[in-house]
Amino acid sequence: MKILVTGGAGFIGGHLSEGFAADGHDVVALDSLFDNYPQAIKRHNIEAAREAGDGYEFVEGDIRDEETVAEHVEWADVVYHHAARVGVRDSVDRPQTYNEVNVSGTLNLLEAARETELERFVFASSSSVYGKPEYLPYDEDHQTTPVSPYGVSKLASEQYVRMYAEVYDLPTVALRYFTVYGPRMRPNMAISNFVSRCYNGEAPVIYGDGSQTRDFTFVEDIVAANRVLLDTDAADGEVMNIGSTDNISIKELAETVRDQLAPDTELEYDERFAADAEHTHANIEKATEHIGYEATTTIRDGVSEFIDWYETNRDWYEPLVLG
């Protein structure tokens, strides 16, 4: 199968590209290589996918470029759209940029897709679309009142994806990811920061009092959910949560890392960012019903696996995390 992965040099897109290439598919990873974090990590994503299978190709390009998008969407059987400007905190400072990349870029892909015989268009959405919880865990019927420009951009894109399914009969699926982590994750994420600081004799820094909770999802569970979508049309037109259901507080997460690496280290606290969500927790019943999704990695097992990977790859990854 011919698969286009936008954002294919990024964290999730890189793992998808690697997995699909290893499965023997022809994969084009389209990515602008925007330097929102060190490009060396993105280069490692590209190399991992290139080594995984002969059918892999990397293309440097921007989803805002209509000609580039049209060329590669026309080639593909399936599009996995993961290209986006990411980061809740950065979006507060650059809302127009997030709209231009995330919303207009998504529209470019959808417009190109409706002129083809595409078998499926999978959109990477986010738990950020929910905003402040009325109840937990979030199910897909929970109101969507995002509290950051990033969340708004994902919700707007998600609505366009839904509309193209209804109006143009484009076979689409939107997956709402819950805080994905794992090998080669972005260096500014909580787990990578906690691990790097503990390895270097520094205290993990918690923003706020640490009572905030997250549903952390191991990247291999994300890859597994996306793999299923190659073989079934059961979820056409649906929006589904992809999480772990394994909710943990930020303080407990920091303690889990600290206790494994530097048990005598005290935690430190700093001012909480206003745009950060207070709690996230996924109800995955809909994804289980439609595609048989089940999370297989608990946060504690996933953290241990990441620490093992970090230690093996510390020589190149750690300097990028520490900046």
| Residues forming the active site | 150
The residue to which tokens 């520490």 are assigned: 322
Closest CA to 299 of 185, 194, 180, 184: 180
Query: What length is written for the chain?
Result: 323
3-class SS string, the chain: CEEEEECCCCHHHHHHHHHHHHCCCEEEEEECCCCCCCHHHHHHHHHHHHHHCCCEEEEECCCCCHHHHHHHHHHCCEEEECCCCCCHHHHHHCHHHHHHHHHHHHHHHHHHHCCCCCCEEEEEEEHHHCECCCCCCECCCCCCECCCHHHHHHHHHHHHHHHHHHHHCCCEEEEEECCEECCCCCCCCHHHHHHHHHHCCCCCEEECCCCCEEECEEHHHHHHHHHHCCCCCCCCCEEEEECCCCEEEHHHHHHHHHHHHCCCCCCEEECCCCCCCCECCECCHHHHHHHCCCCCCCHHHHHHHHHHHHHHCHHHHHHHHHC
From the CB of residue 233, how many other CB atoms can be counted at a distance below 10 Å?
A: 11
What is the rounded CA–CA span in Å between residue 37 and residue 322? 11
What is the rounded CA–CA span in Å between residue 224 and residue 218? 10
